[in-house]
Amino acid sequence: MVDDPVVLNDWHPVARSEDVPEGSLLPVRLLEEELVLWRTGGQVYACQDVCAHRGTRLSCGAVDGATLVCPYHGWKYNSEGQCVHIPAHPEQTIPKRAQVQTYRVEERYNLIWVAIGEPTHDIPPFPEWDDPTYRKLLCGPYGAFELCGLRAIENFLDVAHFPFIHEGILGDAAYPEIEDYGTTIEPDGVLSKGVSVYQPNPYGTGQGGVVAYTYRALRPFTAYLAKESEGTRFSILFCVTPHAALSSTLWMWMALNYDHETPADELIAWQEKILNQDIPIIQAQRPALLPLGGQTDLLLNSDRTLIAYRKWLQEMGLRFGTVSGSRSHQ
């Protein structure tokens, strides 16, 4: 089991709401824990995916009314993880040990979020979610990829790779310079404003121009960006499900206040093309985990969002998904 309160006491998306319809169940993996999600009475519950009796996966069972039924011997568990019926001994008092670990669950942005421990923060905000002038499109889930989720978030916050990894879409090799911008560590995470770059196709419409980015690292595994130019505005809430330190599923909610006529699948395919350019680069990084407490790479002014992100993670005491470097660069 992961031994890091920072990630244990946080919310992580594990499935789409539609993946767990009424009366169904779904196995998921989060922070090296095997869980099962199940829905009854319109509410989603999460518990450890193992029966207290003989260790069978409860995800192989079924939902019966308000109970989760083990497929092996028919033991029934309620939403609090307590066994309420043992078919082989219907008259026997059920032992107190006949229970399974349960976890906190919330549904937001049409995603199911789970906290293994006691969450110290709310689920990160998505400002455009309740704004009817924005079209919202879910991209993903993508994975599980063999990569560090922190590396994926850091790549999302990195603007300097656009001309090389996303040339012709988000960057142009003829314009690689990154102008200075401001970055601060706020009470709710890292904030970078005024990140200005030229992009050949910034909004998936085929029209190029200079755009201004705002980046936010909201939680270790959740980040947000907004880019705009002349009233056109596009944002992404980017979330990672950390199955393990080097196993991650990626989610992206896009919100756009323009082009409500383009089919959703075309816009999603545009975003997927960008993501598929990123994945092999993230997987090729060494060390595979995120270096904290002594960098193994050389970060410059154009990387100031990444510098602040790493400092913020280090200040909160994050250990999961990180490795201490052997060299330090200023």
Cβ atoms within 10 A of the Cβ of 227, count? Answer: 22
Whether pTM > 0.85 for this model: the answer is yes
Asked if 12 and 241 count as a contact pair (C-beta separation under 8 A), the reply is yes
DSSP 144: E
Of how many residues is the chain composed? Answer: 330
What domains are defined for the chain?
5-115 (2.102.10.10), 135-324 (3.90.380.10)
Supply φ then ψ for residue 53, to 5 degrees.
-80, -65
Angle (CA) 8-9-10 rounded to 5° is 95
Q: Which residue has the tokens 């979610």?
A: 129
pLDDT at 324: 65
pLDDT at 210: 85
Whether the predicted pLDDT of 326 surpasses 80: no
Asked if 166 and 197 count as a contact pair (C-beta separation under 8 A), the reply is no
pLDDT at 328: 34
Whether the predicted pLDDT of 319 surpasses 50: yes
> Over pLDDT 70: what percentage of the chain?
97
Whether the predicted pLDDT of 314 surpasses 60: yes
Burial 40-60 (b: 16+ CB within 10 A, else e): beeebbbbbbbbbeeebbbbe
pLDDT-derived band at 203, boundaries 50, 70, 90: confident
Whether the predicted pLDDT of 74 surpasses 90: yes
pLDDT-derived band at 260, boundaries 50, 70, 90: confident
